[in-house]
Structure 1
Amino acid sequence: MGDTIAIERVDHIGIRVRHLDRALGFYRVLGFELAHRAKGDDVAIVRNTHGVELNLIFNANAGDPEANILMDIRDKFPGYTHMALRVASIPATLAALKANGIAITQGPVSFGEPGHVSVFVRDPDRNVIELRGREQGEIEGVARYVP
Structure 2
Amino acid sequence: MGLHHVGLRVADLDRATGFYRQLGAEVLAPPLALGGRGAALAMAASPEIRVRIVLLAFPDGTGVELFEFGGPTRPDWLEQPHADARLPHLGIQVDDVDAALDRAERAGGARLWPKPSHWGPVRVVYLHDPDRNVVELLDGPLSAVAAVAGGNGGD
Structure 2 length-normalised TM: 0.61
Structure 1 length-normalised TM: 0.64
Aligned to 2:46: none
Amino acid at match of 2:56: V
Select which of 109, 116, 122 maps to 1:108: 116
Q: Secondary structure at the match of 1:124?
A: coil
Aligned to 2:9: 16
Determine whether 1:29 maps to 2:22. yes
The alignment covers a number of residue pairs equal to: 116
Gaps of 5+ in 2: 35-51, 75-79, 141-152
Distance 1:101 1:123, change over 3 A: closer
Aligned to 1:87: 94
Amino acid at match of 1:50: D
Q: Secondary structure at the match of 1:36?
A: coil
Greater helix share, structure number: 2
Select which of 126, 133, 142 maps to 1:120: 126
Distance 1:99 1:53, change over 3 A: same
Instruction: Tell me the CA shift for residue 38 of structure 1.
Output: 5.7
- Asked if the contact 1:71–1:81 (Cα under 8 Å) also holds between the matched residues in 2, the reply is no
Instruction: Tell me the CA shift for residue 51 of structure 1.
Output: 1.6
Instruction: Tell me the CA shift for residue 16 of structure 1.
Output: 1.0
Determine whether 1:56 maps to 2:62. no
Q: Secondary structure at the match of 1:26?
A: helix
Q: Secondary structure at the match of 2:139?
A: strand
CA RMSD of aligned residues (A): 2.8
- Asked if the contact 1:17–1:125 (Cα under 8 Å) also holds between the matched residues in 2, the reply is yes
Distance 1:22 1:91, change over 3 A: closer
Question: Which gives a bigger RCO, structure 1 or 2 (Cα 8 Å, sep 6+)?
Answer: 2
Instruction: Tell me the CA shift for residue 9 of structure 1.
Output: 0.4
- Asked if the contact 1:70–1:81 (Cα under 8 Å) also holds between the matched residues in 2, the reply is no
Which sits farther off after the overlay, 114-123 or 96-105?
Answer: 96-105
